[in-house]
Structure formats: C-alpha cells, structure tokens
C-alpha cells in the first residue's frame, strides 16, 4: 500500500509513519494490486485524530476517521474500521470491481458474508425541489430534523446537499459533472 501521510498541527515522526505503514499494510491482504491511501493525522485540543482514505481501482473509496487520546490508538482504531468496511461490503465491492473489469483486485477480498445480510433500500422518496439558497436549505433541514437536505441551489441552478457535521457546523456538497 502506498501511503501519503500528512500532519495538521502535529509533526509526523518517523515512528508514527512506521506504525501507520505497518498497521495499514494489513489491508494489502484484501487486495492483489497496489492501492493508494491518504492518511491525515491531526491534533485538536487533547484529541488525536486520524483520517484514512483508501483509493481503490474502479473508483471505490474507503474512508475511516477516529480520534482518541493517543495517536497510535487512533491509527489502530481506524484500521479496525476499514477492515470492517471491507468485510461488510465485500460482495458489493466484488460486484462493482468485476463490472469494472478489475477481477484481480476483487479476488483478494475474503468470502465471509452473504449478500442477503446487507441492508436493503426499503423506501424511495420523491419530492419537488424549489430553488433556494444554502442558508434556507439549512433552516429547512433543521425544521425537518434531518441530518442532510437535498435542494436546488438558486444561484447555480444545480442540485446540492447540505449536511450537519459532527462538530456541529454544516457542510455543503456541490457535485461536479
């Protein structure tokens, strides 16, 4: 696995780099080909946060984030989360990779779960979108009590999403086609 390690508010020592490389290289057993991962280590107050984004061939992205009082524990916790994602979604990943012609990459994922164990889409919702700005969309989202809200941006006339972040602030997604 090819790691790109970046630190925010922290100097990433060689020991931290080696620990991250050693722990995250365990993901290699799930994939036959080399994959690239972006690792961001940051410190906010007393919380050591590690974010890992793994870019697989076929356009699949795995992402995990965790924060603890110790950077090494955060790295270990993020690895556990990524392994659970791979195991949970291995059938979907296999199918997507095979459709994309990446059979060699998909063959390394262990066969542990049956497809019928995955959550299913049980409801489809349709609604009319009126153009609005992001602030109005946030207000509408809060009024509905949702964690996200899809709306037609009045300025760009494109579909956008606003969402509530873990830190209590809001984010906006503007897709590019």
Q: Hey, do 2-117 and 131-173 end up sharing a CATH topology, with the first three levels equal?
A: no
Q: Provide the whole-model pTM.
A: 0.57
More confident residue, 89 or 63: 63
Secondary structure in 3-state letters for the chain: CEEEEEEECCCCCHHHHHHHHHHHHHHHHHCCCCCEEEEEEEEECCEEEEEEEEECCCCCEEEEEEEECCHHHHHHHHHHHHHHHHHHCHHHHHHHHHHCCCHHHHCCCCCCCCHHHCCCCCCCCCCCCCEECHHHHHHHHHHHCCCEEEEEECCCCCEEEEEECCCCCEEEECCCC
CATH topology of domain 2-117: Double Stranded RNA Binding Domain (3.30.160)
Architecture of the domain spanning 131-173: 2-Layer Sandwich (3.30)
pLDDT at 114 (0 to 100): 43
101 band by pLDDT with thresholds 50, 70 and 90: low
pLDDT at 152 (0 to 100): 93
Name the residue ranges covered by the structural domains of the chain: 2-117, 131-173
pLDDT in tens, 84-95: 888 776 666 666
Instruction: Tell me: pLDDT of 170 over 80.
Output: yes
């Amino acid at each position: 696995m090819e790691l790109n390690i970046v630190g925010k508010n922290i100097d990433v020592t060689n020991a931290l780099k080696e620990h991250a490389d050693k722990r995250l290289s365990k993901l290699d057993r799930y994939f036959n080909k080399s994959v690239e991962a972006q690792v961001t280590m940051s410190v906010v107050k007393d919380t050591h946060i590690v974010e890992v984004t793994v870019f697989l061939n076929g356009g699949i992205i795995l992402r995990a984030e965790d924060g603890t009082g110790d950077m090494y524990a955060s790295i270990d916790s993020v690895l556990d989360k990524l392994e659970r994602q791979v195991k949970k979604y291995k059938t979907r990943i296999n199918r997507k990779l095979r459709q994309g012609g990446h059979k060699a990459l998909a063959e390394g994922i262990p066969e542990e779960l049956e497809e019928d164990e995955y959550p299913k889409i049980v409801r489809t919702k349709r609604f009319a979108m009126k153009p609005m700005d992001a602030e109005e969309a946030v207000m509408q989202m809060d009024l509905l009590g949702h964690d996200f809200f899809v709306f037609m941006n009045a300025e760009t006339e494109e579909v956008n999403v606003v969402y509530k972040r873990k830190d209590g602030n809001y984010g906006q997604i503007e897709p590019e086609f």
